[in-house]
Amino acid sequence: MSWSPEHKAQTRSKILKSASHLFTHHGFDKVSIDQVMQDAGMTRGAFYKHFSSKSELYSEAIIYGATQGAGRNLSTATDIAQVIERYLSLHHLQPEKDACPLAFLVSDITQREPLQQKTYAKVLQGFTRFLEQKSGKSREQAVLATVLMIGGVALARAAGDETLAGEIIQTARVEAQQQLGCMAENKAGS
């Protein structure tokens, strides 16, 4: 029996959603194809109908996570202040939440193949362009805000201390807002 193109696309999306979540929270080496497929509610056999390797899945999961997972929340923001507020929040650090692959894979990506590193770099460039366009500020200001936002989330996640994580998120949020000209009311720990 042949599946419809819609069913194939839904299946692929389901696999990517599971892979994105597992890779961002555990890294490439700690996640197996079997774990991804089990999380997606499918068998390993279905994997090879959509992907040729775990490495290919990892690359596509980075894109998926940035555009359909955590990134989708940012794309619906009405202004740059809301983008920063949504991204730099303790909520973003919760293990059950979709996480930004840029922040959560910042160390993992350095151990990957050039193809995965290139995919990560493209997504990083896209994130910076998004901030630049959404804010109307210079490329340099958008790059600095990118560093503050991704670095802030990565460090807060690694802090291992909720108070310190909150301070990192709050400070990064204030500085990113300053860079992109949107000194909105800050909510500590949001």
Kindly report, residue by residue over 88-117, the tens digit of the pLDDT.
Answer: 998 888 877 778 899 999 999 999 999 999
In terms of residue numbers, what domain contains 65?
53-179
Backbone angles phi, psi at 105, to 5 degrees: -110, 15
SS3 assignment, position 3? coil
Chain centroid to CA 4: how far? 30
How many C-beta atoms surround the C-beta of residue 160 within 10 A?
A: 8
Buried b / exposed e over 104-138, threshold 16 CB at 10 Å, is bbbebbeebeeebeebbeebbeebbebbbebbebe
| Average pLDDT for 170-185 | 86
The H-assigned helical ranges of 42-161 are 44-47, 54-64, 70-75, 80-87, 101-104, 114-135, 139-159
Asked if residue 180 has pLDDT above 70, the reply is: yes
Asked if residue 190 has pLDDT above 70, the reply is: no
What is the rounded average pLDDT for all residues in the chain? 90
Residue 147 lies in a domain: yes
Q: Which DSSP symbol is given to 112?
A: S
pLDDT digits (tens, 9 = 90+) for 131-140: 999 999 999 9
Global pTM value: 0.87
Residue 13 lies in a domain: no
| CA dist., res. 176 & res. 161, Å (int) | 22
pLDDT digits (tens, 9 = 90+) for 20-68: 999 999 999 999 999 999 999 999 989 999 999 999 999 999 999 999 8
Domain count across the chain: 1
User: What CA–CA distances, in Å, run from 33 to 2, 39, 58, 94?
Assistant: 24, 10, 10, 24
Residue 26 lies in a domain: no
What pLDDT does residue 72 have? 76
Asked if residue 1 has pLDDT above 90, the reply is: no
| CA dist., res. 21 & res. 14, Å (int) | 11
Residue 70 lies in a domain: yes
CATH code at position 101: 1.10.357.10
| Average pLDDT for 171-186 | 83
| CA dist., res. 125 & res. 105, Å (int) | 15
